[in-house]
Amino acid sequence: ARRQFKKGEMDKGYGLLDKCLGSVSDTVLLIDSVVDMTALSSGRVELVTSQVDLTCLVREVVEEYSMLYGDYTFELRCSRGISVCGEEIRLRQVLGNLLSNAVKYSERGAVVTVSLRRRTGRVFLKVRDEGMGISEAALPFVFDNMFRSRDAADRRSGLGFGLFICSQIVALHGG
């Protein structure tokens, strides 16, 4: 049976629907992360590579995050014409995770700076934020599977898959 909504109930309904969609999105992201982590840990990931305009990809991803997180300032410092042989979706995944972490661990209004450079035949992508930082004691472990520093675990949600997944994808690309 169809339900008739009273005045004002539609806004509540849309709010509830938005929360449900957010929960579904979070669940899908978690499942994808577990699948990626398992496949990468077991060495069962083979890249489907092509020539990727990394300069363009970085600009697109930063633009997407600028729209999603309008209360942060994203600065882009990109050299022109940087292309690599890689899997575009995985490279997007790495940058997306780094930007997500920058937003997650920084206060609203913070500046997130993304730079892309080629030096001595290698490509360097750097994401810098104004967040809480990583203690020196935690640095050797940040790319370990399921690692969370005490400060991060106390302040923000997460399971510690992201940087491990990023490191594995970068390694598969020869970095």
pLDDT in tens, 39-55: 666 677 788 889 999 99
pLDDT class for 37, splitting at 50, 70, 90?
low
Q: pLDDT exceeding 70 applies to what percent of the chain?
A: 67
Residues contacting residue 165 through CB under 8 Å, at least 6 positions apart: 33, 36, 37, 40, 93, 97
Taking Cα atoms as reference points, which of 44, 81, 85, 77 lies closest to residue 175?
85
Per-residue pLDDT at 4 exceeds 70: no
What is the pTM for the complete model shown?
0.74
pLDDT of amino acid 91? 95
pLDDT of amino acid 62? 97
Per-residue pLDDT at 14 exceeds 80: no
pLDDT of amino acid 148? 64
Helix/strand/coil (H/E/C) assignment for every residue in the chain: CCCCCCCCHHHHHHHHHHHHHHHHHHHHHHHHHHHHHHHHHCCCCCCCCEEEEHHHHHHHHHHHHHHHCCCCEEEEEECCCCEEEECHHHHHHHHHHHHHHHHHCCCCCCEEEEEEEEECCEEEEEEECCCCCCCCCCHHHCCCCCCCCHHHHHHCCCCCCHHHHHHHHHHHCCC
